[in-house]
Amino acid sequence: MTDELNKTPVIQLKNIKKTFRVGILDLPVLKGIDLSIYKGEMAAITGTSGGGK
2-47 tens-digit pLDDT: 566 668 999 999 999 999 999 999 999 899 999 999 999 999 989 9
Q: In the prediction, which pLDDT does 1 show?
A: 52
Name which of 45, 16, 47, 43 is nearest 31 in CA terms.
16
What pTM does this model have? 0.65
Q: In the prediction, which pLDDT does 14 show?
A: 98
The whole-angstrom separation of Cα 51 and Cα 20 is 13
Q: In the prediction, which pLDDT does 46 show?
A: 92
Q: In the prediction, which pLDDT does 27 show?
A: 95
In the chain, where the domains are located = 3-37
Cβ neighbourhood burial of 36 (10 Å; 0-12, 13-18, 19+): middle
